């Protein structure tokens, strides 16, 4: 079982070349050729575009796990700067940006299963503690009490189209009970082999008939918000990932954080 913690501020592929002998006759002269072959195996951990999985991308550093059943990449959920309101307290996470010119995507997690037995796996997530800021002097006000993190519109994609895909939870995943695991996806026995992405939401350019959930984030004056960590690219919000805070909960003008644990486990035998 692989556990992967993230902090939130708001089958092997082998190439084989076969050659047939080639003989030529030309007045008692012989030509002897040489041949070589390089064998490669294993699925790279390089992150891929969740909407075009044949294309490698650069989303920046990410925690990951090792082994034949592993997590290659997981997006961090950044919510950016938000105005404190008395009502309509629903805050959308930023979309995933890239350093290589790829347009924004929904946040995603990338899983590889290169075991030979196709015994299946499960992906779960757990929130370890409530969004909080321990610098706040009033202890009762350190947490966003009753806040709920929701993940929606999850879907799987892969270049391994000949394999049976994992089943992604279709209902909105509401993480409100702390330290309690929530199911994200399950690959039943005989399925989920290869490399898969599970994206929450999608861009308008996706080719998989997924609903567009991305929108540009702007300042109160209407200017585009940019991210200096991604070459000042425009920031997009994603309506598929949102944080809901009750109206009765006091919000301070500070940064709140939480921790998620992603759990990838083989099915029991």
Other Cβ atoms less than 10 A from the Cβ of 100: the count is 10
How many domains does the structure of the chain reveal?
Answer: 1
- pLDDT score of 137: 87
Q: How far apart are CA 179 and CA 131, in angstroms?
A: 13
What local confidence, expressed as pLDDT, does residue 20 receive? 26
Residue % of the chain over a pLDDT of 90: 74
260 and 110 Cβ atoms separated by less than 8 Å: no
Question: What's the confidence (pLDDT) of residue 126?
Answer: 92
Poorest-confidence range of 92-106, 132-146, 207-221? Answer: 132-146
Residue 22 within any structural domain of the chain: no
Tell me whether residue 189 is in a domain: yes
Q: Is the pLDDT of residue 233 over 80?
A: yes
pLDDT of residue 83: 87
Count CB-CB contacts under 10 A for residue 123.
25
Does residue 21 register a pLDDT over 90?
no
Average pLDDT of the segment spanning 34-44: 58
Interval 119-129: pLDDT, tens: 999 999 999 99
- CA dist 73 and 186 (Å) reads 18
Is 32 inside any structural domain?
A: no
Q: What angle do CA 62, 121, 46 make, to 5 degrees?
A: 30
26: in domain: no
The mean of the pLDDT values for the chain is: 86
How does residue 37 score in pLDDT terms, banded at 50, 70 and 90?
very low
Is residue 68 scored above 90 in pLDDT? yes
| Residue 20 belongs to some domain of the structure | no
State residue 227 phi and psi, 5-degree precision. Answer: -115, 110
pLDDT at 85: 86
The whole-number pLDDT of residue 8 equals: 55
Residue 32 has pLDDT above 80, yes or no: no
Specify the DSSP class assigned to residue 132.
Answer: B
Calculate mean pLDDT across residues 15-42: 38
Q: Are 126 and 180 in contact (CB under 8 A)?
A: yes
Is the pLDDT at 160 greater than 60? The verdict is yes
Q: In this predicted model, which residue has the larger pLDDT, 10 or 249?
A: 249
Judged against a pLDDT cut of 90, whether residue 234 lies above it is answered with: yes
Which residues, including other chains, have CB under 8 Å from residue 90's CB and lie 6 or more apart?
242, 243, 244, 245
In a domain, 29, yes or no: no
Domain span at residue 52?
2-15+39-266
Q: Give me the mean pLDDT over the 73-92 stretch.
A: 91
The CA-atom distances, in angstroms, between 12 and each of 44, 137, 149, 184 are 10, 54, 36, 25
Residue 94: inside a domain: yes
Q: What single-letter DSSP state applies at residue 96? A: B
Residue 171 tokens, joined: 């209902």
Tokens in use for 148? 């709920």
pLDDT at site 79? 93
> Is residue 23, in this structure, part of any structural domain at all?
no
Closest C-alpha among 85, 134, 80, 92 to residue 249: 85
- Average the pLDDT over 173-201 and give the result: 93
Q: How confident is the model at residue 203 (pLDDT cuts 50, 70, 90)?
A: very high
- CA nearest neighbour of 77 among 181, 196, 200, 186: 200
Kindly report which listed range (20-34, 194-208, 228-242) carries the lowest average pLDDT score: 20-34
Task: Quote the CA–CA distance of 47 and 60 in Å, as a whole number.
Answer: 9
Mean pLDDT of 245-263: 92
What is the structure's pLDDT at 22?
Answer: 28
Q: What is the pTM of this model?
A: 0.84
Q: Report which of residues 157 and 178 the model is more confident about.
A: 157
According to the model, what pLDDT value does residue 87 have? 86
């Amino acid at each position: 079982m692989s556990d992967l913690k993230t902090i939130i501020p708001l089958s092997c592929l082998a190439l084989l070349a076969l050659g047939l002998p080639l003989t030529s006759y030309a007045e008692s002269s012989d030509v002897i050729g040489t041949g070589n072959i390089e064998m490669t195996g294993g699925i790279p951990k390089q992150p891929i575009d969740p909407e075009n999985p044949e294309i490698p991308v650069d989303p920046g550093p990410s925690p990951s796990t090792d082994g034949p059943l592993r997590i290659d990449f997981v997006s961090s959920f950044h919510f950016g700067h938000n105005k404190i309101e008395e009502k309509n307290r629903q805050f959308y996470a930023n979309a995933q940006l890239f350093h290589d010119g790829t347009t924004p995507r929904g946040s995603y997690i990338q899983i590889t299963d290169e075991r030979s037995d196709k015994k299946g796996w499960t992906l779960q997530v757990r929130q370890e503690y409530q969004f909080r800021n321990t610098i706040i002097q009033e202890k009762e006000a350190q947490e966003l009490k009753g806040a709920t993190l929701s993940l929606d519109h999850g879907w799987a994609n892969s270049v391994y189209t000949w394999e049976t895909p994992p089943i992604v939870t279709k209902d909105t995943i509401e993480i409100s009970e702390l330290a309690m695991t929530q199911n994200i996806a399950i690959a039943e026995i005989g399925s989920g082999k290869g490399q898969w992405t599970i994206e929450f939401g999608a861009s308008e350019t996706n080719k998989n008939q997924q609903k567009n959930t991305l929108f540009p984030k702007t300042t109160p004056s209407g200017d585009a918000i940019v991210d200096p960590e991604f070459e000042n690219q425009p920031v997009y919000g994603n309506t598929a990932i949102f944080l809901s805070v009750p109206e009765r909960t006091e919000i301070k003008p500070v940064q709140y954080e939480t921790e998620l644990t992603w759990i990838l486990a083989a099915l029991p035998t």
